[in-house]
Amino acid sequence: MDNTTKKKKYMLEALELAGRGFGMVEPNPMVGCVIFKDDKVIGRGWHKQFGGAHAEINALADCCRGHSFDSHGASMCVTLEPCCHQGKTAPCTEAIIAAGISRVYIAMIDPSDKVAGKGIEQLRSAGVEVKVGLCEKLAEKLNPAFIKYSKTHRPWVILKWAQTIDGKLDGASPEHKCISGEMSRKDVHKTRRSCQAILVGINTVVADDPLLTARPDKGKKLLRIVLDNELEIPVESQLLNTIEQGDVLVVTTEDVFRAKQQKVEQIVNKRAEIFAAKGDSAGFCDLDDVLSELGRRGVQRLLVEGGREVIGAFLKNDLADELNIYIAPKIYGSKGRVNISDALAGIDLADEFLDVQTGLFDNDVKIRAILKEY
């Protein structure tokens, strides 16, 4: 095995390690690290928890855990440029230099304002040999939301829905309400934990009275958002009465906000927030304005679990970045009330998928499709 093949093998292992942080590290990026010396791996690590040690620090600690490997003169493969600033943890660049690492192979440059090449510059200034670009495309696929937010300060928008084989989103009777199976629902909650906010429309709140939490939450609390053009949210809804389980943001239009001050007061008295968005030509909340506001609030990953109208609005306005579709082996026929084809009418996405992945959850099929690149 030549040197290039070995380095790629170690970087691929670092990418696999990075993926283990999904649902736990966000809004930080997922990062993995492998340290090797004399053709032998001496340390492995990944970013495990938001606010916790970064991948490089965990890999360096692994070099000394239970054995006496010396990191001096070793090489490192890391999936993202090491940080060089003091945040919740100390700069990784300083730890790498102090450990005597002689070569660092970086998959991709960190696009965030605080790093953006500064980590590489600091390492090189200390005499560390740095190479960038090994498995770069794979590293970019790992953290698209982090990349988009770093460049645009707007959230990565994930549209999620469950449907039957014949495209139904809902059933006419209670026994047909839940389309996907238990394993699919667990996967949805894992995705919720990876996001900072979840959004639905008012019709979903009125029909289902959802909590919109991640279960189990594992310490993650979502900002719960309702698109409510006419301020119709029931004051007795679970959302407005469970603020301790996650903040609630009710989004309405500027005109309705001014016209319904009594309802505004009722919502605020429940300790929820209201954002008065610009109205579009049809009198609905301007979704572009909503996403800009969420970006200002630091929302990097937004999960949209709305119904037909909300899904259609995001797609028609070209505001979706990713689709998560769960297809259950069921046919509702006339027992189904809502069809996904209504939301997709007039929309052609066939040529826009950049990456498609499929998974099986018991009998359900999940399709994950990326629509945009940043």
Model pLDDT for residues 333-349, shown as the tens digit of each residue: 878 778 888 888 888 77
Can you give the pTM of this predicted structure? 0.92
CA-nearest of 86, 59, 52, 87 to 75 is 59
Of 2 and 254, the one with more pLDDT:
254
Of 81 and 70, the one with more pLDDT:
81
**Euclidean distance between CA atoms 374 and 315, whole angstroms:** 18
**Euclidean distance between CA atoms 195 and 205, whole angstroms:** 20
**Euclidean distance between CA atoms 27 and 254, whole angstroms:** 30
- Residue 1, pLDDT above cutoff 70: no
Contact by Cβ (8 Å): 290, 341:
no
User: Among 114-118, 234-238, 329-333, which is the least confidently predicted range?
Assistant: 114-118
Single-letter code of the amino acid located at 107: A
Parallel/antiparallel/unpaired status of strands 248-253 and 273-277: parallel
Give pLDDT, residue 165. 94
CA-nearest of 234, 243, 192, 235 to 215 is 192
H/E stretch holding 281 reads none
The one catalytic residue in 56, 81, 140, 305 is 56
Summarize pLDDT for 35-68 with one digit per residue, the tens: 999 889 999 999 999 999 999 999 999 987 755 5
Buried b (16+ CB within 10 A) or exposed e, 224-241: bbbbbbebbbeeebbbbe
CA-nearest of 249, 244, 230, 364 to 296 is 249
**Euclidean distance between CA atoms 236 and 27, whole angstroms:** 32
Contact by Cβ (8 Å): 43, 53:
no
Of 20 and 345, the one with more pLDDT:
20
Tell whether the torsion through CA atoms of 235, 239, 242 and 247 is positive or negative: negative
User: Among 25-29, 232-236, 341-345, 367-371, which is the least confidently predicted range?
Assistant: 341-345
Single-letter code of the amino acid located at 247: D
Give pLDDT, residue 64. 76
Single-letter code of the amino acid located at 142: L
Mean pLDDT of 212-240: 95
- Residue 227, pLDDT above cutoff 70: yes
Mean pLDDT of 341-360: 84
Instruction: Give DSSP secondary structure letters for 283-305.
Output: SSB-HHHHHHHHHHTT--EEEE-
* pLDDT tier, 354 (very low <50, low <70, confident <90, very high otherwise): confident
Give pLDDT, residue 28. 93
Asked about 16 being catalytic, the answer comes back as no
Summarize pLDDT for 128-184 with one digit per residue, the tens: 999 999 999 999 999 999 999 999 999 999 999 999 999 998 876 666 668 999 999
Mean pLDDT of 302-319: 93
